[in-house]
Amino acid sequence: MSLSEHMALRGKRQAVMEIKLPKLGEGADSGVVVSLLVKEGDRVEKGQPVMELENEKAVASIPSPASGTVERVWVRVGDKVSVGQTLFTLADAQAAGSAAPTPRAAAAAPAPTPSASVPEPHAAAETYVVEAIAEQEAAEIEATVKPGLTPAASPSIRKIARELGIDLTKVRGSERGGRIVMADLRAYIQRLQRIAFAPKPEARAGLAPAAPVEPIDFAKWGPISRQPMSPLRQTISRRMWENWTAIPHVTQFDEADITGLNELRKRYAPEYEARGARLTLTVFVVRVVADLLKQHPVFASSLDETTQEIVLKHYYHIGLAVDTEHGLIVPVIRDADKKSLLELARDIVELAEKARTRKVTLEELRGGTFTVSNQGGIGGAHFTPIINRPEVAILGLGRGALKPVVRDGQIQPRLMLPLALSYDHRVIDGGAAARFIVDLVQALQNFDEQQVKL
């Protein structure tokens, strides 16, 4: 249902109009107000963002469905609001046109608010994917079965539903008047199936490390303070636990001698800088990994547990774990194998910046083939990254450090990069992982200068 249909009064010109929270997307029917972009008395234009809402998937800005003057703001920062809840009252509201604006995911002005800027612990070792709000459904036909009425469906559809034990009041009809047809039934069954194969929510809640069964009075041992977990933090918590428990992880360690690579980097960095790009180690690693995935296709796969098939991806989109003040975000660099080093360098700068300012779009967060998590900028050596499901492997980079290394019978100082490759042992064998990391080390040590030249 569109926002304009939530108007308190019907008709084209309205004196007063209540703005309610529209349906945000599948599974997203509530969220926490992270910022209010207007206040009482403000003049708003149709389509102008009026607030930002954070749910477990992303931050969405909610645009006003009409122009008018904000007469009353019904919600406060930190409030949890649900679909259909009144957010604002607009006076002199004018909803020109009938098409209602849809909320855009994570595309609002960066407006960190006191409640949302609770410092998050840095968690660079883990990775997770922010799935932004699912595509806006074709929301104009929200088939609501009113009390006293049966769902609109033909006798033959009702018969099939009865045979399958499906309650038609739960099925969304796509036909005129919300009528349910076979295609709707099929879509509903598929959705049920997806839910059935997903990890059980009770199991999550019951076993998640974030939710200890017995409350502990920590204050017994000293002063404490408590902070609410933001929806984002809750998602991280849940996803990490799910990925960690669902996948038998093995982490393969190695070190690559990047002395030569680092020299190349230093030599060409100014040229890249001049073209608005930062030539970082990550750029090289992304390049090398994208190429390596072609030689080791199983690292670019996913496990389809329902069909018991391994899905091999013939595209090489590399996810990049970005540490932000809100938590980790993993934007995806498309077709990394097809891009020049310069293009990669530019993409990485741009995406990392977008992630930090929470401007990254839904599309930019989806469809990764493999993830790279570089902690080198902060420090540390080897760590055990958690795989970003449904991917099957992740590469963690520590901080490169000068180490005494034996070269040609002599001890030499070399710049050594700690590598940690976590892989899904259901799909990838130890031998395959060892071969991958050996090839990776080789590729980093023998990086072709031609590729760096502009």
Partner 1 sequence: MEPIKTELVVVGAGPGGYTAAFYAADLGRQVLLVEQEPRLGGVCLNRGCIPSKALLHVAKLIEEARDSAERGVIFDPPRLGLAKLRAWKDSILQKLGAGLAFLAQKRGVRVLTGRGYFEDSQTLRVETPQGQQLVHYDKAIIAVGSKAAMPKAFDLGNPRIMTATEALEVEEVPADLLIVGGGYIGMELGTVYSTLGSRVVVVEALDRLLSGADPDLLRPIEQYARKHFKDVRTRTTVAQMATAGRQIKVTLDQDGRTVEELYDRVLVAVGRVPNDEDLGLENTRVERDERGFIVVNDRQQTADPHIYAIGDIVGGALLAHKAAREARVAVEVIHGEESAFRGITIPAVVFTSPELAWAGLTETEARAKGIPVEVARFPWTASGRAMTFDHTEGLTKLIIEPDSERILGVGIVGHGAAELISEGVLAVEMGATARDLAESIHPHPTLSETLMEAAEAFYGYATHTFARRKKD
Q: Tell me the catalytic residues.
A: 425
Residue closer to partner 1, measured from CB, 154 or 442: 154
Residue closer to partner 1, measured from CB, 159 or 426: 159
Residue closer to partner 1, measured from CB, 150 or 225: 150
Residue closer to partner 1, measured from CB, 154 or 193: 154
430 burial class (0-12, 13-18, 19+ CB within 10 angstroms)?
exposed
**214 interacts with partner 1 by CB under 8 A:** no
Tokens of 57: 């998937």
Which listed range, 17-25, 139-147, 243-251, 428-436, lies at the site for partner 1 (CB under 8 A)? Answer: 139-147
What is the full DSSP assignment across 185-218?
A: HHHHHHHHHHHHHSPPHHHHHHH-TTS-SS---G
**142-201 binders of partner 1 (CB under 8 A):** 143-144, 146-155, 158-159, 162-163, 165, 173, 175-180
Instruction: State the minimum distance, in angstroms, from the CB of residue 53 to partner 1.
Output: 26
| Contact present, 373 and 124 (Cβ < 8 Å) | yes
Residue 361 CA to residue 331 CA, distance in Å, equals: 9
Residue 364 CA to residue 154 CA, distance in Å, equals: 42
Q: Give the chain's end-to-end CA distance (angstroms, integer).
A: 52
Residue 443 CA to residue 437 CA, distance in Å, equals: 10
* Helix (H), strand (E) at residue 84: none
Q: Which residues of 347-384 are buried (b: 16+ CB within 10 A; e: fewer)?
A: bbbbbbebbbebbbebebbbebbbbbbbbbeeeebebe
Residue closer to partner 1, measured from CB, 155 or 212: 155
239 burial class (0-12, 13-18, 19+ CB within 10 angstroms)?
buried
Helix axes 182-197, 155-164, angle to 10 degrees: 20
Instruction: State the minimum distance, in angstroms, from the CB of residue 172 to partner 1.
Output: 12
Q: Kindly list the residues in this chain that would bind partner 1 in the complex (CB under 8 A).
A: 143-144, 146-155, 158-159, 162-163, 165, 173, 175-180
